[in-house]
Structures are given as structure tokens and as C-alpha cells.
């Protein structure tokens, strides 16, 4: 039937923390097979550049919400796992396959939700905001189609912003959990759990020259994943915080070329019309050096800080203009669907272009 007795972990009650955590979470992690689609991209999304993302027709998913009828289960996975699919199959831990319906997908956060007509035990939500570097974490998924594989490691870093990793529409992967728990193709959409067996992240990407585990994997914090999933389930609009600035990270060459009085920050190359930045009076040539009290040293910092806020929030930007620092309040908007995700080169050769969300 797919229903399995869940295990409750009592912290510190066992020396085998990984064993206990895995026992608690395994019944809630499913395998997902996506097939078909006119573009033949099912399960092969996000292959843009290096670092790369696990790409395979097989992925993983996590049972997190019960359907209103009490029988069906909403399963969270990555958008790139189900992209382009016209047939999705969820295989429960007992090996039974079930047809699944795609409820919704959000490219910007790489989160999708599928509904399967079986009662799968729900995985408890952990505290992704309370994680610390060095904490034990366990990844569960189906790497290379090997269902219910458990790998263990630690939280390697927090708040990573990997602008090199982009979703198919050019959104950068920001504010993610880095781990050395082995993550391979097929782990995408699976669970990253803490020592108490609660899910803290949805495994999403890896950095590797070969496309296989190299000890650097990334997971989307479960808090954000669930916020997106709940919006998809209820049919609401998923918020994509957007400032309206195209620009680039300041380095020594750019600072010299533009005769800037600062050596770090986010240089504004273009302000997009109709956005919060334009309405607030941000101008091309401005340098963003802070946002809401957080220091901005790069476009990566700016993207990270904007994405940590919600659409409709008012933030204060510290701007260096004509050699003087001023403060400008900006309302964060919703990212337009048709906005360009790249800008013409405006700096010196070799300076890296990025796009603020």
C-alpha cells in the first residue's frame, strides 16, 4: 500500500545517529521517474555550464504534505527532475510504482510538487535556519537509480550563493546548504536530513568536473522549499524577489576603469524600467555597498540579500554616487517573466557579469 511504520528518533538515545536518522526518514523518500515530453528534456534540466547539476531521468522526492482527501500525498522534488515530462512515476519505499500528477513547478527555486494517490508517511520538517557548519547531515535519494541510498556527511557551509549554477531560465542558485554528504545524479529532489531524522533541505546540485560526487553538494533549505511548495499546492503566486538592477562585481580593473572610489561592491550597469530600483531613483553608475545593514561586496552578495527578502519588503540600500554614500529606500518587486538575465559587457575585459534578481 505504500504505508510504512515510521520511526521516531529520540536524540542522544543511540550511538548510531546516522542509522537512527535514516530509519526515520527512509519511509518518506521516494524515487521519481520522469519520461516523455516534446523537448526530450524530462529529467535533464539545469545543465548550464560548470558547476553542474545532477541530471538523470531518475530523481527523488520527499513526502511532505497530505492531500485534502487524506489518502493522497504531495511529494516535493526538484523542478529540473520533472521538466518536460508527460509521464511521472513515483515509486514508494516498498517498491510499488504509482502514477503521479504534476501540481506545479517553480523554475526560480528549482522546486516542484507532484501528487500521488497513496498515503506515504510524511517527513517531519527540521530547522534549516538553525543549522551550523559541522552539523551531521544525511542525504537520502536514488543516485544512478539506486533507490533509497543513504550517504552521510556534515554541513560544509551555509548561505552559499552559486551564481555559476543557473536554472533553465537563468535564475542563480542562492542561499543554499553546502554538504560533503555524497550527492550524485538521481539524488536531486531527495532529502537532506539532520541527526533527528527531520528534513532540512532538498538536494539539488553538485560541483564536479565529472558530473559525479566530488564532496561538494548543495541543498535548498527546507523552509524555502516548503514555502514554494505550499504556494504551488494552493495555486498561489510564487514570490520571486526582484530589485531591478543589472550590474557586475567591482574588482581592481573595473574600479580603475570607472574611476570608482571603492574597491568592492555591486556596480549598477543598467536599471530596468518599471522596477523598484528605477522608481526609487537608482541610476546606472551607482555602486551598491550595503542592503539593510548587510555589507555588499559583490553582485553575488546583492543577489543573496535580495532573495532573502519577500516581494513587497522595503529595504535600504547604501549607494556610493559621485564619491558620496547615500541611502535609498527601495521596494522589492516581483520578477517580471520576460526580464533579461544578462547584460552587455559594460566593464573591462574579463570582468564578470551577473544579474541581480
Catalytic residue annotation: 80, 110, 188
Taking the C-alpha atoms of residue 264 and residue 252, their distance in angstroms, rounded to an integer, is 8
C-alpha cell at 159: 548561505
Helices (H), the chain: 17-25, 79-82, 222-234, 252-257, 276-280, 299-307
Q: Are 143 and 186 in contact (CB under 8 A)?
A: yes
Q: Are 214 and 208 in contact (CB under 8 A)?
A: yes
Q: Are 32 and 101 in contact (CB under 8 A)?
A: no
- ∠ CA 48-87-221 to the nearest 5 degrees? 50
Q: Are 108 and 150 in contact (CB under 8 A)?
A: no
C-alpha cell at 144: 544512478
Listed residue (228, 238, 203) closest to 218, CA to CA: 203
Amino acid at each position: 500500500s505504500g504505508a510504512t511504520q515510521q520511526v521516531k528518533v529520540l536524540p542522544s538515545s543511540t550511538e548510531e545517529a546516522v542509522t537512527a536518522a535514516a530509519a526515520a526518514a527512509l519511509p518518506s523518500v521516494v524515487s521519481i521517474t520522469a519520461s516523455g515530453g516534446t523537448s526530450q528534456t524530462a529529467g535533464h534540466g539545469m545543465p548550464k555550464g560548470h558547476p553542474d547539476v545532477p541530471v538523470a531521468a531518475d530523481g527523488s522526492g520527499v513526502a511532505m504534505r497530505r492531500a485534502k482527501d487524506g489518502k493522497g500525498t504531495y511529494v516535493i522534488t526538484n523542478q529540473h527532475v520533472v521538466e518536460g515530462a508527460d509521464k511521472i512515476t513515483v515509486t514508494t519505499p516498498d517498491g510499488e510504482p504509482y502514477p503521479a500528477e504534476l501540481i506545479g513547478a517553480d523554475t526560480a527555486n528549482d522546486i516542484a510538487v507532484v501528487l500521488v494517490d497513496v498515503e506515504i508517511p510524511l517527513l517531519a520538517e527540521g530547522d534549516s535556519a538553525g543549522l551550523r557548519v559541522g552539523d551531521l547531515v544525511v542525504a537520502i535519494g536514488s543516485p544512478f537509480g539506486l533507490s533509497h541510498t543513504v550517504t552521510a556527511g556534515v554541513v560544509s557551509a551555509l548561505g552559499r550563493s552559486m551564481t555559476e549554477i543557473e536554472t533553465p531560465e537563468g535564475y542563480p542558485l542562492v542561499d543554499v546548504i553546502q554538504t560533503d554528504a555524497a550527492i550524485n545524479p538521481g539524488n536531486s529532489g531527495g532529502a537532506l536530513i539532520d541527526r533527528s531524522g527531520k528534513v532540512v533541505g532538498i538536494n539539488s546540485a553538485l560541483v564536479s568536473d565529472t558530473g559525479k560526487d566530488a564532496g561538494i553538494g548543495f541543498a535548498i533549505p527546507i523552509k524555502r522549499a516548503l514555502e514554494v511548495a505550499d504556494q504551488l499546492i494552493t495555486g498561489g503566486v510564487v514570490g520571486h524577489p526582484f530589485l531591478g538592477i543589472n550590474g557586475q562585481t567591482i574588482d581592481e580593473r573595473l574600479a580603475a576603469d570607472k574611476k570608482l572610489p571603492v574597491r568592492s561592491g555591486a556596480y549598477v550597469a543598467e536599471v530596468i524600467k518599471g522596477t523598484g530600483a528605477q522608481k526609487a531613483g537608482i541610476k546606472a553608475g551607482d555602486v551598491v555597498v550595503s542592503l539593510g545593514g548587510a555589507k555588499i561586496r559583490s553582485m553575488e552578495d546583492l543577489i543573496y540579500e535580495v532573495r532573502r527578502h519577500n516581494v513587497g519588503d522595503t529595504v535600504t540600500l547604501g549607494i556610493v554616487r559621485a564619491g558620496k554614500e547615500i541611502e535609498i529606500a527601495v521596494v522589492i518587486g516581483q520578477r517580471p517573466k520576460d526580464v533579461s538575465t544578462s547584460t552587455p559587457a559594460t566593464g573591462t575585459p574579463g570582468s564578470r557579469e551577473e544579474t541581480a534578481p
